[in-house]
Structure 1
Amino acid sequence: MSDMYACDRCGKPTPNFVPWTCGSIAGKLGYSWCDDCEERFERELAWENEQSEKDAITCPWCGYSDPDSWEFEGEYDDGYECSHCGKPFFVEKRVDITYTSKRRIDDMPEGWVAE
């Protein structure tokens, strides 16, 4: 008979156990989800239809890509409505800022040689 574990989501007994690939995390060797919780998670994930890493706000209902997304000023909106189909959905704005710096050529001393 296989070992039994408690489902991390609902607490029901389950033989399912998935070890962390990188070793113990916070004292746990992995996680256990029963078949019902795994099915519910997969169903919810499919339902959300997350449209991530897009250049424009994309409706998870109809797929409309809003060309005016740059006008969205908030960081998060849980009442955003598609301007095409009118259905509500969540929007999260992520902004990445990077910098590049280099020396000015005008400041290079005479006779400078790269190492």
Structure 2
Amino acid sequence: MADMHICGLCGKPTPNYSRFISGPICGSDGYSVCDDCIKQRGRELAWKNEQWSKDEITCPWCGYEDPDSWEFEAEYDEEYECLHCGKPFFVEKRVEVTYTSMRRIEDMPEGWEGE
């Protein structure tokens, strides 16, 4: 008979056990999740229908892409209503800031040929 473990989510006994890839963490070398909890998590992820890293706000209900997404001013987990189907969903706005720097031409020494 397989060793029994305790599901880390619901506390039910389960034969499922997965070791951590990088060794023990906080005194444990792995974790257990029962089949029911795995199934429930899969259902929740499928239901959320998360639309990852799109250029426009995309409705997880109908797929409508808002062409005016650039006007959206909120930042994190803001409730939004689809302009096409009217259903509510959450939006998380992620902004990436990058910088470019260079020397000024007027600071180049006379006769500079490169370093």
TM-score by length of 1: 0.88
Letter in 2 for 1:99: Y
Q: What is the SS of the residue equivalent to 1:90?
A: strand
State the 1:99 CA deviation.
1.1
State the match for 2:54 in structure 1. Answer: 54
Residues 1:28 and 2:28 are matched in the alignment:
yes
State the match for 1:39 in structure 2. Answer: 39
State the match for 1:110 in structure 2. Answer: 110
For structure 1, list consecutive stretches of 5 or more residues without a partner in the other structure.
none
Q: What is the SS of the residue equivalent to 1:2?
A: coil
State the match for 1:96 in structure 2. Answer: 96
For structure 2, list consecutive stretches of 5 or more residues without a partner in the other structure.
none
Letter in 2 for 1:84: H
State the match for 2:4 in structure 1. Answer: 4
State the match for 1:87 in structure 2. Answer: 87
Q: Which moved more, 1:11-20 or 1:104-113?
A: 104-113
State the 1:7 CA deviation.
0.6
Deviations 1:34-82 (A, max 9, x none): 0000000001000100001001100000000000111111113443110
Aligned positions, number: 114
The change in CA–CA distance for 1:110 and 1:20 in structure 2 (over 3 A counts) is farther
State the match for 1:66 in structure 2. Answer: 66
Query: Aligned Cα RMSD in Å?
Result: 1.6
Letter in 1 for 2:28: K
Structure 1 runs (4+) deviating above 6 angstroms are: none
Q: What is the SS of the residue equivalent to 2:58?
A: coil
